[in-house]
Structure 1
Amino acid sequence: MKLKFALMITLAGAAAAQTASPVSLNLVMSLVKTVKVDGKTTEQFAPSPKTVLPGDVIRQVVTVRNSGGRALKNVPVTLPVPKNTRYLAPEKGLDDVRAEFSIDQGKTFAAAPLMKKVTVTENGRSVVKEVEVKPSEYTTVRWTVSELGADQTLKLGYRIQVK
């Protein structure tokens, strides 16, 4: 089965509240391929894949740029996990900004590990238990950039797998 992706990036909060936001976002989705080069296993990235197959891993990286003349504080950057994919892990080697996750399409966010309440039957009785949410259940990722300096650029991202 081949899938095509369409994504929406949301920028909210202080930067978005301004009439002409100095913050710009550029999302690049790349297909991750593991290959052997000179006997060593390495990864190669194919930007903007037109089609993907179940099991393919996609690297999503958003470049956040403040083109304004002053620093901005607490800039939220939100990326939904595309339908027909599952969240895998944060992208390593990018800027270290604390991420929060949502399991309800961005209505609520919390730092990992997320917890949820489930009702189970034990000894014939319904019991409510709190269990850890698997990362594959995440629907949205949000980073809050504590300060984005004037003319500063940073990269944020994560990996997903096509279902």
Structure 2
Amino acid sequence: MKQQVIKAALTLTVILTASVALAKPQVTIAIQTEKEVTTLQNGQKATKRVAATNAAPGEILFYTLTYANAGNESATSAVVDNPIPTGTVYLPGSATGQGADISFSIDGGKTFKKPSLLTYEVKLPSGKLDQRVASPEEYTHVRWTITTIPAGGTGKLGFQVKVK
């Protein structure tokens, strides 16, 4: 059964700090959602990415965020948050972003940490609290912190999910 792809409502928290007082970075972000399809061309199988307008359980979706700084000064410490879309699961190791520090949230975007530091407590039947490391299926958001986006600079960020 196919379901509508809910675009990751880009909760774009772009926190920009200009490298010089009164500088004017102007960062914009566009998001694209794609899936891979296999076609037959001249008797050969060919795989290509197409815009994902719907998706079936088990399909992999590719999210690409393209950013650009049209301002006249560098943007520093730009933060981009993106929720993992409802009805999908983050694919481990798929988040990319050259020059970006990548972290994740398991609490709806309130806090972000590296995967090995994403922990939570579970109360055992004995009453004892057990600390556990979150699995990628528990991630709710991806965050990229981009050190510097120079004036006129562009770049890409991305991640993949599997439809439940």
Q: TM-score, normalised by structure 2?
A: 0.82
Distance of 1:145 and 1:151 partners within structure 2: 15
Distance of 2:142 and 2:113 partners within structure 1: 10
The alpha carbon displacement at 1:57 in A equals 0.3
**Cα gap change, 1:102 to 1:93, in 2 (>3 Å):** closer
**Cα gap change, 1:66 to 1:137, in 2 (>3 Å):** same
Q: Which amino acid aligns with 1:76?
A: V
- For 2:119, the equivalent position in structure 1 comes to 115
Residue 127 of structure 2 aligns to a residue in which SS?
strand
Distance of 2:149 and 2:79 partners within structure 1: 11
Distance of 1:7 and 1:154 partners within structure 2: 19
Percent of pairs with identical residues: 26
**Cα gap change, 1:58 to 1:66, in 2 (>3 Å):** same
Distance of 2:38 and 2:98 partners within structure 1: 23
Q: Is the 8 A contact 1:23 1:66 kept in 2?
A: yes
Q: What residue ranges of structure 2 are gaps of 5+ in the alignment?
A: none
Distance of 2:107 and 2:130 partners within structure 1: 19
Q: Which amino acid aligns with 1:32?
A: E
Equivalent positions of 1:63-102 (< 5 A) are: 63-91=66-94, 94-102=97-105
Equivalent positions of 1:1-163 (< 5 A) are: 1-4=1-4, 5-9=6-10, 10-14=12-16, 22-33=26-37, 44-47=48-51, 49-91=52-94, 94-113=97-116, 114-121=118-125, 125-163=126-164
Residue 89 of structure 1 aligns to a residue in which SS?
coil
Q: What residue ranges of structure 1 are gaps of 5+ in the alignment?
A: none
Q: TM-score, normalised by structure 1?
A: 0.83
Q: Is the 8 A contact 2:71 2:152 kept in 1?
A: yes
Residue 44 of structure 1 aligns to a residue in which SS?
strand
The alpha carbon displacement at 1:34 in A equals 6.6
The alpha carbon displacement at 1:112 in A equals 1.3
